[in-house]
Amino acid sequence: MTEPAPEAGRLLYLDCFSGAAGNMLLGALLELGVPESVVRDSLATLGLADVRMHTQRVMRGAFRATWLEFEGPDRTPEERRFEQIAELIDKSALSARVRRQSLQVFEALAVAEGRVHGVDPKTVHFHEVGAVDAIGDIVGVCAALEQLGVDRVTASALPLGTGTVESSHGRLPLPAPATVELLRGVPTRPAGVEWETVTPTGAALLRVLSDGFGAMPALTPAGQGFGAGRDRQGPVPNVLRAILGEPSQLFESDVVVQLETNLDDMNPEQLPFLVERLMEDGALDVSLSPLAMKKGRPGQLLRVIGRPEDRERLAQRVLLDSTALGVRFQELPRLKRAREHAQVDTRFGRIGVVVLRSPDGRRSPRPEFEDCARAAREASVPIDEVYRAAAEAASEESPE
């Protein structure tokens, strides 16, 4: 009997309140309805059909969760280089999407290990990362996401434990150096425990598969699953929660970084230049507000909104192109209207528009200012005339 095709367009949120490991993530996906045969068949295409996957329903605190582990003849101390793993995956019968994502995860691991140990990523020996359980976790997670029809993955900020962990490289500090490399630009927080909460494999999966970190996005939940980590006595149960849902048709959510600084000794003529440079550097918005500073001096509050991954670049721009000696920043969850970008034909040429969705199903077009300004200059007409023409064309056409 042929299995029905998976639903498309789904959104998965990973609530990593206790940490993240490959088997925790895979266990949570199995609880969402992925048949175990999907993972076993994926391993068989790699020539690992004799590897056994064991699952068990366990209690972690107040949660019932799925514990998962692999064992078999290939689970040996034998080292595998990245090139060997890549060849194993590339020659398999896995789908193009699963092959691509699996290779990206292992490549991320290789690059992180290479930076830490000062070797070429292609020749990195993965030790325990190259063992069959990690291959099963990584390939299994990628295959499970495809089975569930997940188009987008987001995750919470990651809690990091302290202490040390034994590895093939000896005793390492926590968080493990490779984990820190993989989490560059990813929001983290102290876990308040002395054990490994985020493993390199878990960090690599999240780094590659997640397109954002922060609060749960706007969605209609369809189910949740809990993947179990080791049974530890901590402040919260050692599980990872995966929430599957349909994305909101009206709203989207993400996380932005807000940078601020007070300026009271900068030439006002230079402020527009600073704003322009910040926008060129990827800022989403820049604003200036008048302030009454200490000793009665007038000043300006510079506020910059950007993507978390652009924080350092934007902060450097503020510090280099202004008189500021420091920059404050914080990450903020953001809810925004869902939108589509389109190009419409008008008598003034092609104009870009942003089309917003309304609860009653209507589309509300908003022409792009820069396109309208350019067309108005070229045609020597008021910009409002171009705006009206673009809005009328967008109302008549379907977005491209």
Q: Could you write out the DSSP letters of every residue in 189-226?
A: EE--SSS--B-HHHHHHHHHH-S-BSSPPSEEEEEEEE
Same domain, 106 and 241: yes
Question: Residue 238 and residue 20: Cα distance in Å, rounded?
Answer: 9
Question: Residue 108 and residue 85: Cα distance in Å, rounded?
Answer: 13
SS3 264: coil
Take residue 261 and report the two structure tokens written for it. Answer: 């600084």
Closest CA to 158 of 123, 120, 202: 202
Same domain, 77 and 188: yes
Q: Which domain holds residue 367?
A: 339-396
Same domain, 304 and 350: no
Same domain, 158 and 204: yes
Same domain, 318 and 279: yes
Same domain, 345 and 327: no
Take residue 251 and report the two structure tokens written for it. Answer: 């709203």
Within-domain flag for 302 = yes
Position 118, amino acid: G
Within-domain flag for 120 = yes
What pLDDT sits at residue 5? Answer: 39
Closest CA to 141 of 227, 76, 211: 227
Number of domains in the chain: 3
Same domain, 129 and 262: no
Same domain, 116 and 83: yes
Please, what is the angle between helix 369-379 and helix 383-396, to 10°? 120
Question: Residue 390 and residue 369: Cα distance in Å, rounded?
Answer: 11
Whether 92 and 46 have beta carbons less than 8 Å apart is answered as yes
Return the H-helix or E-strand segment holding 144: helix 132-148
Same domain, 177 and 55: yes
The residue among 283, 306, 335 that closes a domain is 335
Same domain, 282 and 364: no
Question: Residue 93 and residue 99: Cα distance in Å, rounded?
Answer: 9
CATH at 287: 3.30.70.1380
The residue among 192, 214, 249 that closes a domain is 249
What pLDDT sits at residue 6? Answer: 42
Within-domain flag for 1 = no
What pLDDT sits at residue 126? Answer: 61
What pLDDT sits at residue 84? Answer: 83
What pLDDT sits at residue 400? Answer: 42
Same domain, 100 and 192: yes
Within-domain flag for 2 = no
| CA dihedral for 393, 394, 398, 400, sign (positive or negative) | positive
| pLDDT tens per residue across all 400 residues of the chain | 233 334 447 999 999 999 999 999 999 999 999 999 999 999 999 887 777 899 999 999 999 999 999 886 655 545 677 888 888 899 999 999 999 999 999 999 989 988 887 777 776 766 544 467 888 999 999 999 999 999 999 999 999 999 988 876 778 899 999 999 999 989 899 999 999 999 999 999 999 999 888 888 888 899 999 999 999 988 999 999 999 999 877 777 788 899 999 999 999 999 999 999 999 999 999 999 999 988 888 999 999 999 988 999 999 999 999 999 999 999 888 888 878 888 999 999 999 999 887 776 677 889 999 999 999 999 999 999 999 999 989 887 654 4
What pLDDT sits at residue 384? Answer: 95
Position 292, amino acid: A
Residue with tokens 């202490």: 163
Same domain, 177 and 262: no
Within-domain flag for 41 = yes
The residue among 190, 219, 249 that closes a domain is 249
Within-domain flag for 298 = yes
Within-domain flag for 3 = no
Within-domain flag for 56 = yes
SS3 250: coil
Closest CA to 219 of 261, 195, 248: 248
